């Protein structure tokens, strides 16, 4: 059965991806803007994305602000308290990233089909 927590979204990177080490793994954070068109009314969603391991390394290497991507993954809701107020943030943990408008277009999984990619 496919994971019930599954999402696919297309958008443009709003900033260059940033990576850091988290224990023995690499974690890459970036955000995308996703436009919704309601006729005369337009709305933009800004979505935070996290990509772990080799996927995150490849995203940082090949993607820059303004690039168009399709992201597959699962929703993740973080909850915390700040100054006595309850806060939350919805983000996506990426399982695949499809590069849509670069010369390296294609999914990360397809780009590294001959290599063992741990995701």
DSSP class per residue in 41-80: EEEEEEEEEEEEHHHHHHHHHH--TT-EEEEEEEEEEEEE
User: If DSSP codes are grouped into helix, strand and coil, which group holds residue 108?
Assistant: helix
Look at residue 17 and tell me if it is in a domain.
yes
- Between residues 74 and 36, which one has the greater pLDDT? 74
pTM score, whole prediction: 0.77
| Domains of the chain: total | 1
Q: Which residue has the tokens 């900033």?
A: 15
Instruction: Report the chain's terminal Cα–Cα distance, integer Å.
Output: 18
- CATH number, position 36: 2.40.50.140
Look at residue 115 and tell me if it is in a domain.
no
Q: Given this model, what pLDDT does residue 118 score?
A: 43
By residue range, what is the domain housing residue 43?
7-108
Residue 100 has pLDDT above 80, yes or no: yes
pLDDT digits (tens, 9 = 90+) for 25-71: 999 999 999 988 878 888 999 999 999 999 999 999 999 999 999 99
Residue 4 has pLDDT above 60, yes or no: yes
CB-based burial label for 105 (10 Å; 0-12, 13-18, 19+): middle
Q: Would you say how long the chain is, in residues?
A: 119
Q: Given this model, what pLDDT does residue 106 score?
A: 55
Look at residue 60 and tell me if it is in a domain.
yes
């Amino acid at each position: 059965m496919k994971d019930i927590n599954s999402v696919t979204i297309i958008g443009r990177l709003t900033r260059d991806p940033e990576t850091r080490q988290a224990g023995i793994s690499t974690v890459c954070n970036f955000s995308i803007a996703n436009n919704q068109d309601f006729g005369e009314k337009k709305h933009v969603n800004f979505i935070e994305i996290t990509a772990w391991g080799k996927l995150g390394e490849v995203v940082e290497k090949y993607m820059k602000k303004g690039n168009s991507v399709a992201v597959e993954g699962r929703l993740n809701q973080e909850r915390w308290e700040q100054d006595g107020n309850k806060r939350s943030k919805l983000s996506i943990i990426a399982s695949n990233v499809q590069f849509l408008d670069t010369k390296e277009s294609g999914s990360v999984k397809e780009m590294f089909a001959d290599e063992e990619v741990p995701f």
